[in-house]
Structure 1
Amino acid sequence: MTQLIFRSATRADVPEILALLEDDAIHRSRQQVVAERDDAACWAAFEAIDADPRNELIVAEDAGTVVGTCQLTFIPSLSRRGAERMTIEAVRVRTDLRGHGIGKAMMRWALDRARERGCGLAQLTTDKRRTDAHRFYAGLGFTASHEGMKLAL
């Protein structure tokens, strides 16, 4: 591994990001990602994220290759005395590169990004089946302080 670069994703990165998201048993059980010509919703989502100053789709790049991704969403809130909070979503590192420090470096970069914006809190959810991810996030200082709930619509 050379030096990791963290940057905002471009439209050209979307196929690699989708491949990272698809390379996951839990994700595959939810939906199937298909080619651009068949899945305009993914492209519309990218355009919406890209245009929104409160959303950042990030890639981790090593020697010109996308090796990780995450999405950061900055949420204004009246709680915590009006401090903005950052939600971290869709964290993925290429399967064959897990355990090499990419995820830890990406998360540290994301937390620094939250501090730069003056966020008072960073939050994330992770599937209950992802026990390795739970240990990973706990090792970064996250605590399982809330019970998350979702409703598929």
Structure 2
Amino acid sequence: MILRPATRADLPAVLALLADEERVVDPASVTVTPAYARAFADIEADARNEVLVLADDTDGGEQVIGCLQATYIPGLGKGGAERALIEAVRIRADRRGGGLGRELMERAVARARARGCALVQLTSNKSRTDAHRFYASLGFARSHDGFKLSL
């Protein structure tokens, strides 16, 4: 398995992973709108943001099977250290249950640690109870309630 920053060519596969958690979506069926392309370009240009993909390279070509977005946030807490915010974590529906999510998250945490982050935090929709058990098994603790305001 390869963990690497996503490229523009990976965008359809990433959007397919985000489109539906319960089934495999063919990346060829995904429309990369100008808004998605612009958002990806903004992420790619920002040294404090990255979309990471987990790619399977066992069949000679790479196939994106997982992704997440990491944002590195400077702060005055934790001695002025950065914190990593991880969101949009997905493993392709037909590849779950074999440890790939654990591998993706462990490698993302190691990447944050190597960057000097003092904390990794994540958000997860309250309805994703299986994901919550998974994050707890990785050592994440429910320490705060989050709030959102749609604009």
Length-normalised TM-score, structure 1: 0.89
Task: State yes or no: 1:18 paired with 2:15.
Answer: yes
Q: Give how far 1:121 is off.
A: 0.3
Within the candidate set 122, 138, 141, 1:140 is matched to 138
Distance in 2, Cα, partners of 1:44 & 1:14:
11
What corresponds to 1:5 in structure 2?
2
Task: State yes or no: 1:49 paired with 2:43.
Answer: yes
Task: State yes or no: 1:82 paired with 2:80.
Answer: yes
Where do 4+ consecutive residues of structure 1 move more than 2 Å? none
Per-residue CA deviations over 1:81-125 (Å, capped at 9, x if unaligned) read 101000001000000111111100000000000110110000001
Task: State yes or no: 1:62 paired with 2:56.
Answer: yes
Distance in 2, Cα, partners of 1:35 & 1:86:
29
Mapping for residues 104-119 of structure 1, pairs under 5 Å: 104-119=102-117
Mark the runs of 5 or more structure 1 residues left unpaired by the alignment.
26-32
What corresponds to 2:34 in structure 1?
40
Q: Give how far 1:34 is off.
A: 5.8
Identity %: 55
Q: Give how far 1:145 is off.
A: 0.3
Q: 1:60 is paired with a residue of what secondary structure?
A: strand
Q: 2:87 is paired with a residue of what secondary structure?
A: strand
Q: RMSD across aligned C-alpha pairs, in angstroms?
A: 1.3
Mark the runs of 5 or more structure 2 residues left unpaired by the alignment.
23-28
